[in-house]
Structures are given as structure tokens and as C-alpha cells.
Structure 1
């Protein structure tokens, strides 16, 4: 095995870090050669941090990248989220918070190289693992397989992506030094044993070929647990280890699949862990991460902190997992991840520990971290208007069908769908919705009679529908599964027939879409009732409602909405979807970036699904709450 003195390699890394300063004015040569990462012919240790552009307002990108630089890192890694760039077939968006090219250029200006992870599958605790929801509407398409219709769409995506960032590769004088092929495919191959391993490996190799054909020619790599290299490694791509603590195992496995030599990269060195609703928020001790970082650096092992800064799953972009107990485990809106840089961009004790370790090993004085954005506490915001959502939806034109339809069949990716049916004759007994995806509140004649939840496999309830009555079922898509074998089963809404007292309910189902692709403030004001009217709050208790309020600011800053005491729903501020809240926790606050607030008048719209405790106001706080679990409220 070709080894160099680790301290020499680390000193060489300083040259690499400096090479991208001064706005990356001089093209650099980067290659994987002789068992090392080489920059201009000199060995390099990569000290990278994962940070995703779409989880951070673009106005904050430079601040967060400066935080990474001050931590001592020399690279930033990011996934590319296909679904936000192609929300509809052939409709592309690389603007604002989706402007990937600007993100990469900003990283270069701050002296950081870039590791690009374009997928097409990314996992990332992101909705559908980054796949566009509409892929499921293409007949005959099979995800993550050597399938003609799937690969056709992948090819279109990769070619379009190359137009955006291809010229930013190191081979063309840019900061992108490596490109990942697929993502953690070894684990998928291990789970999908119904597909021959040879077919899995052929598919994975084809993704590499398609990246090359699209114009990606920077050095390529794969990313898997080392014990999964058999299914995930590809000839011509460097295998890297995710979560590998055993350095000798990392070397042994990389040597086995890479011609008997390195280099050695822990592509996902976990600083924290993902968090689900209704489950404790994980935390990893800072000293443990610092000790492991010291060990890697002492042995010349490159690494990528996953995550160095998590950010936020704004809107409906949280993903979900599943296990033997839960059919779905939706991820929190916050993607804080217990990372060194907090959700709001603050340096944590973990940040300070890692910064100190890196400074000792590199032997250089690191730049001071930039100051965080100002934080403000806004006086209680009065909620002046309220809208009865069920009544509002019934004014819209429904899709009528003999059978219930999925979100996808209705042409809707995210949000909610109301399934409504009138009964001329009474019926009572057990209502079963085995095809619920994912959370439903149930109403009879405008009164809530229960709720169902895929999380705890609560698919049935007793129901009594009288003569000449209406059944309403409001269904929420809680986020598509992003990891594992179930990613291929990701349609939403009600995906199988509704059954009551053993009878399949068909005939004239009315379906009303509520995608919330805007805050609906222009629409709802016409239906809004002033909250000062008598008995209004009491009459809407237990029903889904839209609250609206206005507030004035003399100056702006980051803040957190305090959702303690609320039920379940989403919040918009000035048209920006902050994401979901749910009283079960552990997250009880929502991050509001100051760059989304305005000096002067601001608008807040809250969709509250449960409304068990109607509100007159909402409060803010300067302290996030991410560890307050209340499973008794499930």
C-alpha cells in the first residue's frame, strides 16, 4: 500500500485550500492517482462538509460557507435534488434557492472546492429521495433499475444539469473536483434481493456511463457502507465508505475494490442523525466526533462531515423512513441534524471542538467565524381572520369518480386532498382505509369524528353515517419515503378502496385538491370571517381552518414561531412555506429566516388541521425547541 506521512499530506492540503481562494482565479489540476487525491501533483487530504443549497435561503449561502471555511474545511459536498429542478416534466427551475451554479461559484469564492452528488437518487431525508413525484405516472417506469423509460428521464435530467454546472468542473478550471455516481446503491441492492445482483450492478454502471455521456468528466466515486461495496461499487469510480469508523476496514475494502490502493474517504462521517416526528431527536456527543476526526487526520484519512450544516426541510420537502413498527416515519421540518452549525447557522460546541482539532492538525490560524444573523422576538401576532376550509373547498370544482384516486392520478404532488361522498342511506360499522397515505381527519356532516394515521398503522375506526349525510376524509401527504425498498411504493392519498362494514364504498366520490403551492391568501380573504364575530371560534373547533394575521416590523432578523399548543399543519410567512408542525414533537418551533421578513407589513397564514384549541394569536421565540416529545398526543 502506497502511504505518505500524514502530516505531509495535511500540509499539502493547505495548498489545496488556498488554491481556491482569490475567487478560484487559476485553474487547478485534481486527480485520483497513486493512491492519493492529487492537486497539482501534490497529495491532498479532503476535509469536507455536507451542506445542501435547497435547505438554506440563498441569501445565507455565503455566511454558511464562511462558517465552514472558519472551521478549517477545504471542501463542501452537496446533493442535487432533481425534484425541485424539474417540478413538472420539461419544466426546469434553477433560480433563487435552486440556483446550484451560483452556490458552487460562491463556494469557490470562499476558497472551497465542491463535491457534487447528482444522484439521480440522493436519499438525504428528502422527499422521494430527490425523484420527481410525477415519475410514478409514467406507465412501465421502474425506479432504480435498468429500465428504458426510467433511464430516458434520467438522461434528460443529467444533460440539463450539465448545462447548468458542467463548465464548473475541475477539468474545465472550476471548483467541482469529484462527482458521485448514484448514491448508496449497495444498500438498495442488498434490500432488493428479488432483483439479481448482476442486474443491479449493470444498472449502477449505466448511471456512470450516462453521467459521462452528459458531460461529467471530473473524477467519479461511489458512496456506500464498506460492507456493501459488492453491490454499490463500479469499475472506474473510487469506492468511499459511509459511516465507517474502522480505518483498517476502510483501507482493506477500498483496496479490494480499487486496484489495491486508496485514497480513503469517509464520504459520510455522521456528526448527528436524522429525526422523525413522534420520536426522540437523536444527539451525538461532540467529544466523540472530535476524537474520531483526530483519528482520521492522524492517519491521513479524508472525510466529509454529514452534515456540517443541515438547514431546514422547507415546504413539503421532508422525506420519510419506515420500519417493522411504522409504515411511515416522516422526517421533521427541521434538518438541524445535531450538526456543528445549527439550523439557524449558529456555531455550536461541536463546531468549536472540531475547529480546534482541525487547527491543531493543520498548524494554522483559522479565520474567525462570521457573526450570526440577528435574532428577534416579535410581539404576539394577532390572527384577525379565519376560514372554514371544508366550506371553502366545497366551492371548488371537484374531480368525480366511482373510485377514490391517488394524488398522482389527480395530478397533484404534495399537500392535501379532500375525499368527499354523500350517502343517501345510513351505514355504520368499522371503516377501513388500508390504503391511507398518510394522515387523515374524518368528518361526518361537518363534525370531526376521528383521525387515522399511517405512522402507527391506525387504519380503521368505528363510524356511524346517518341518512342523507356526507363523509369527508382530509388526507395529508406527510412526505414520500426516501430510503430502502419501499421507495418504489410512494403514491399518496387513498391508494386502495375505502371499506365500511365490509362493503367497498364506490360511486360519486368527490375529490378536492389542496396542493398549497401558494399561501392562498388572495383566495381565502373572500371567504374569511372576522374572528370578532360571536361564537365563531366555538363553531369551528375541531375543523380544519386557515388563520391569517398581519404584523409590522421596524427591523428584521431570524426568529422561531412557537407552535406549542397548536395541533398539526403548515405555516406561510410572506408566501414562504416554512414547513410542517405537529404537536407530538419533538420539534415545537419553526425557523423563520430573517431574509423572508419585511420592514413594514408582513403576512402569516396558518393551516391548522385539528383546531382543538382555536387561537387568537401566535408567538415567536429566540430559542428553537427540537427535543420536546409528546407522544401522548398521537
Structure 2
């Protein structure tokens, strides 16, 4: 029996003369017929130590292409300051995109690159850096020069770096997307139209050409909804959907006759917002639609094939209108009910995909054996060794900004005057008299959740009622500061958590600041002259916290925000899940790295902790809880999901 060629041997044997072509009703790659069987995974959502494992599993399923977005906000955390794997940011270990592309090629996969600048992806601000918002009047995702000057600088750096990885230069990249789902920026939900900016799309196209991007340039939208409004005649159009594939492809044929049919995103599952039930799709229905696509016949990329994790504060959010009350933040897990789970394990969908590709792919090439999955295991329950109270934490705030007016996170004069991207922000008013029955009122909305302290004592108790005081749905919310007695010379702290910026919608929904800035009143009198303290929970700050106190039941705080430290000592490392059942709301920090968010509102009740984030020997796990820390920390060998709508702690 003859040995099958590898994918690269089949398509590059004899030399490379042409890349991916859409100049006929079917694709050709290097002048050979080609059907794209792709799957999405995002390198920054997966530890780099696991890239090869995930990519090999994709190839073993029969895929020939991997798709990835590129997150601008991580690669350029400050204007002109870059991190592509060695930039010194907390995420640097996830950002070596050159390494990812090399591994993809070594694992016999081609690459679809979607560099943005906007990427959606249920990801913080759609990948846009929050420092863009500091430009007054900026119109994001348009040809506005205030926006494009930053895009040009970033793309010149990014595309110069990546151009050498193009297929026609011997690399894996066969196609590059221009912007992302730009048709979705038009007239949504009865709002005034914000028509997509074709000048902007052409500027992006020219930027790619100028920076030596020569592979196939394309756009992706849902054609039955948007037609060609998010594309240009010079760009190849593809479809994004989860139902009605024939209708989408037939519309594409109408829009661009005699071109191949392709789905850049056939949604393999879905994502979750906080407070929803955990999404679990019907695997057989997924497979039936996938088979319909293959039978059409069309090229298809599964979004997602492996979702991974929204580490730290990187989850995005959705909004159904420009009103903050419609805001819906996403959970930390990006499992997506995909063929490979968040921890990289095989699911039923994986084997359905593998069987269908074996059936429909006429070009047989060499596939690897499926790698053995390393199953997560639970560590023994830990007891807290040390803690910091709310007062201990804010005493170590790295910045204090004095301001007459409230300032949004993004407008703080910190981080080389680029503002605050992530985390918590405290607005402190000192030396104020609180009368019996005094009412504090927030003008407008909270962006996104709020707790109130008087003299370092927590006043708010709302853990789960999203319609109540302290959350984004309530406009002009108010709360009583003292029901018993007058308090002289008081200090009031308003602690706001950024739960993730919106990542999808029409253009008006990308003007979004976090924190408080619309005004605060006490007894109908507006308050001015604030001390503002951002808490970004950077790795450098987390690992240098001082003043830890030994934990015991008599000294640990029972109510109010606090940090509880746990020591995990291990002889070998393996994946696990931190069991957050019974905790209230906050974040988990492992060896200084913010792992993700926890919130008893559900559905997510555990946090995936991959082995590469652990050390042999001693590990420090710190849990920040906004309401009431626990003294014990448990682990699980499986993810935990449920909706716990109780409001007790």
C-alpha cells in the first residue's frame, strides 16, 4: 500500500507558483483543487505548551486548516509598545504568534488569519485596545483619521511580522480576512442606520497590499442578512451562520457568481453570559448541518473547534442596544460546546466531524493518530493560610488620582497616560457627613457592577439580583447609607468592577467607558473631589502584596471584599478545575496570574487551571471575593456548571 503524502507534500510538491485562488466556482491551491476543511482555535486562549497538542488533534480529525484571530489589545497594550511573546506583559506567554504559525505548519495545517483590527470573538472590546477611547470624538471601525492613524501603526508592525508566513513564501497562511463581520455594523434593532464605511474597508485592503500581503483577501458576514454591505467588489465574500447553509450559499452565489462557496464560521456551539443556563447543543443536529455543508459542496471552517479560556479580565460582552441596561457580560470559559473541550478533550462532536471528513474529502493525505488526552485531576482541598482585608488591599493601591470629577477607567492618567484597561476601580470621597437615612444615588448606569463601603464597611449585599442596586440594568439606582445614626467625617468608597467591554454590534456600541462618570449624588447633592484608585491586579502587584495575616476563624473577615491565600504543594503538575461553588463574586489568581472570574450567579462554577500555569513544589492561589471570602478551596476533575440564584453569604 502506497504511503499517503502529507498535506504540504500534496500541495507544494514541485514548487509553489500560486496561492489560494477563488477565480472559479471552486478553490484551487497552487493550481490543485482544494476544499477548505477548517477549525478555529485562538492561540491566546490556550497555553502555548498545548498548541501542538490542540493542532495535532485538529489535523487528526481530518482538518486541513486552522483559523485564528489576532487580538490587537494584547499585542499593542500601549501605543507603539508591542508584545509578540517577549514584551513583558502578563499575557506574553500566550502571544508568540510566530511560534504558533510554525507549529501549525509543522502539524501539516494551513492557516486562515483574521487580524482585525476588530475581531469580535466574544472577547474584550472585540480585541480593540481601550486606550483608543481616550481620543475625543474617535469613530472606531471607520475611516476616521483618529482611528486609522493607530491602525496603520499597528498593521505595519503586525503584517510585516506575518507576511513571511504566507503560503506563496513557503509558510502556512493561505487567506487573510479584512475587518470582521462588518455588515453587522448597519442599522440594528431599529436604531438609526450606521452604514458600513467602504472607504475604511478599502484603506484596510490597501494597508494589507502595501505590507506585502498577497494571499486571498476575504470578508465574512451572514449574507442573507447583510448582502454585500460589509464587503467590497475586490474582496472574496464568505458566510457565517449556524442554520440554513443552502440559503446562505445560494445568496453568496447570487452576490458573487462563479466563485467558490465557503463558510468562515459554521458555529459548532455557542457561548454563555453570566446568569444563563449552560449551553449544550444537540451533537447530531450539528453533524447534520455540517454534512449538508459538505454535500453542497462548500468549504467550511468550524467556529470553534477548540474554544479555550477567556483568561483574567478578557471576556467580552453583548449589548442589544446602546443602553447599558441591555449589557450581557460573558463568562470566563470559552468552551463553546466545541469538538474539543476547554481542557482539550475529545467530545462527541469531534468523532462526528472526523467520520464526515473521511466520507466527503476526496483528497486523501497522511493524518496523525489522535493524541491521548491528559485528563484533569482534582487536588486535595486546601485551607487558607493568609488573608488581606478590604482595608489591607486598598492601602496598597498602586495609583491614587485626585480629580474634581469622576473619571472613567480609560481616562485615568496612568500606564503612560493610556488609562486602565482591566480590573476594578475605587472612587473614594473623604470627610463627608452622612445623615441618618442619607441616600446615595448613581446618575445613569453603573459600568458594570458596584459595591459601596462606608468607613471600610460593606453596605451593599446584592450578589445576584441584576435588576437591583449595584448592577448595570438599574438606571439612577439609589441606596441608603445609614439607617441608624449620623456619621461625621465619613469615607465612602464606590468599588466598580469592569465585567468586560462590548464586543459586537453597530458602530455606536463601540463608544463604551467603564467605571462611573455620569455623577453621584448624596441627598440630591452632587459630589465632587474624588480620590480614584485603580486595582488592575497585575502580576507584578499580585506577587508583591504585603501585610498578609495568618488565617483563622477569629481574624478572617466574614463580610466584605478580601483576598484569601492558599498554598498548593505538588510533586507533579496536571490540569485541574478550581471548584468555586459557594464563593460569591470575584477573581482567582494563580502564581500571580489572574486565571478568571467567579460568580455564584452561574452558569460557570469552576475555573480551568492548566498544568503549565503550575509549578512543581509550591504554588500560591489567591481568591479575591467581593463579598465574603471562604477559608477552604476545593478542586474538581470536571467542569462544574449550574445556576445558583440564592442571595445569601
- TM-score with structure 1 setting the length: 0.91
Is the Cα–Cα contact under 8 Å of residues 562 and 619 in structure 1 kept in the other structure? yes
What's the CA shift for 1:285? 0.8
Alignment of 1:456 onto 2:477: no
Render the CA deviation track for 1:356-413: whole Å, top value 9, x for unaligned.
1212223768543101124222111221100013343135562111111111111211
Structure 2 gaps, min length 5: 86-92, 413-418, 463-468
The separation in 2 between residues aligned to 1:572 and 1:279, in whole angstroms, is: 24
Matching residue within 600, 613, 616 for 2:617: 600
The separation in 1 between residues aligned to 2:479 and 2:16, in whole angstroms, is: 69
Partner of 1:60: 50
Is the Cα–Cα contact under 8 Å of residues 25 and 258 in structure 2 kept in the other structure? yes
What's the CA shift for 1:586? 0.2
Alignment of 1:102 onto 2:123: no
Corresponding residue SS for 1:206: helix
Partner of 2:581: 564
Partner of 2:433: 425
Partner of 1:441: 451
Partner of 2:319: 322
Render the CA deviation track for 1:491-519: whole Å, top value 9, x for unaligned.
1110211123322111x211111111116
Corresponding residue SS for 1:125: coil
What's the CA shift for 1:455? 4.1
Partner of 2:554: 535
Alignment of 1:378 onto 2:376: no
Partner of 2:7: 18
Matching residue within 29, 36, 41 for 2:18: 29
Partner of 1:8: none
Structure 1 gaps, min length 5: 1-13
Corresponding residue SS for 1:425: strand
> How many residues align structurally?
610
The equivalences for 1:267-346 within 5 A come to: 267-323=264-320, 326-346=325-345
The equivalences for 1:454-533 within 5 A come to: 454-457=471-474, 460-465=477-482, 466-485=487-506, 486-506=508-528, 508-518=529-539, 520-524=541-545, 526-532=546-552
Counterparts in 2 of 1:190 and 1:464: CA distance versus 1, 3 Å: closer
Counterparts in 2 of 1:596 and 1:132: CA distance versus 1, 3 Å: same
Is the Cα–Cα contact under 8 Å of residues 432 and 500 in structure 1 kept in the other structure? no
Render the CA deviation track for 1:528-554: whole Å, top value 9, x for unaligned.
11113x6212xx222111111212111
Corresponding residue SS for 2:581: coil
What's the CA shift for 1:33? 2.1
CA RMSD of aligned residues (A): 2.3
Is the Cα–Cα contact under 8 Å of residues 28 and 39 in structure 1 kept in the other structure? no
What's the CA shift for 1:424? 3.4
Partner of 1:394: 395
The separation in 1 between residues aligned to 2:145 and 2:570, in whole angstroms, is: 54
Is the Cα–Cα contact under 8 Å of residues 459 and 481 in structure 2 kept in the other structure? no
Is the Cα–Cα contact under 8 Å of residues 438 and 477 in structure 1 kept in the other structure? yes
What's the CA shift for 1:488? 2.1
Counterparts in 2 of 1:157 and 1:581: CA distance versus 1, 3 Å: same
The separation in 2 between residues aligned to 1:521 and 1:461, in whole angstroms, is: 33
Is the Cα–Cα contact under 8 Å of residues 86 and 93 in structure 1 kept in the other structure? yes
Alignment of 1:91 onto 2:112: no
The separation in 2 between residues aligned to 1:272 and 1:409, in whole angstroms, is: 37
What's the CA shift for 1:21? 8.2
Corresponding residue SS for 2:326: coil
Render the CA deviation track for 1:447-496: whole Å, top value 9, x for unaligned.
21115443433651322353221111111110000001353222111021
Corresponding residue SS for 1:408: helix
Counterparts in 2 of 1:82 and 1:384: CA distance versus 1, 3 Å: same
The separation in 1 between residues aligned to 2:14 and 2:479, in whole angstroms, is: 69
Matching residue within 617, 623, 634 for 2:632: 617
Render the CA deviation track for 1:548-588: whole Å, top value 9, x for unaligned.
12121111100000000011111111222211111111000
Is the Cα–Cα contact under 8 Å of residues 305 and 340 in structure 2 kept in the other structure? yes
Partner of 2:134: 137
The separation in 2 between residues aligned to 1:590 and 1:283, in whole angstroms, is: 18
Alignment of 1:185 onto 2:182: yes
Corresponding residue SS for 1:66: helix
Is the Cα–Cα contact under 8 Å of residues 437 and 476 in structure 1 kept in the other structure? yes
Render the CA deviation track for 1:15-58: whole Å, top value 9, x for unaligned.
7x622689999646322221221022122111000110000000
Is the Cα–Cα contact under 8 Å of residues 72 and 366 in structure 1 kept in the other structure? yes
Partner of 2:590: 573
Matching residue within 115, 119, 122 for 1:125: 122
Counterparts in 2 of 1:328 and 1:245: CA distance versus 1, 3 Å: closer
Higher helix share: 1
Is the Cα–Cα contact under 8 Å of residues 189 and 200 in structure 1 kept in the other structure? no
Corresponding residue SS for 1:105: helix
Alignment of 1:232 onto 2:247: no
Counterparts in 2 of 1:74 and 1:25: CA distance versus 1, 3 Å: farther
Corresponding residue SS for 1:64: helix
Is the Cα–Cα contact under 8 Å of residues 419 and 472 in structure 1 kept in the other structure? yes
Corresponding residue SS for 1:631: coil
The separation in 2 between residues aligned to 1:555 and 1:592, in whole angstroms, is: 14
Counterparts in 2 of 1:544 and 1:134: CA distance versus 1, 3 Å: same
Counterparts in 2 of 1:204 and 1:461: CA distance versus 1, 3 Å: same
Counterparts in 2 of 1:92 and 1:353: CA distance versus 1, 3 Å: same
Matching residue within 626, 629, 633 for 2:643: 629
Counterparts in 2 of 1:58 and 1:27: CA distance versus 1, 3 Å: farther
Partner of 2:263: 266
Is the Cα–Cα contact under 8 Å of residues 519 and 577 in structure 1 kept in the other structure? no
The separation in 2 between residues aligned to 1:437 and 1:138, in whole angstroms, is: 20
The separation in 2 between residues aligned to 1:21 and 1:276, in whole angstroms, is: 43
Is the Cα–Cα contact under 8 Å of residues 407 and 493 in structure 1 kept in the other structure? yes
The separation in 2 between residues aligned to 1:446 and 1:21, in whole angstroms, is: 68
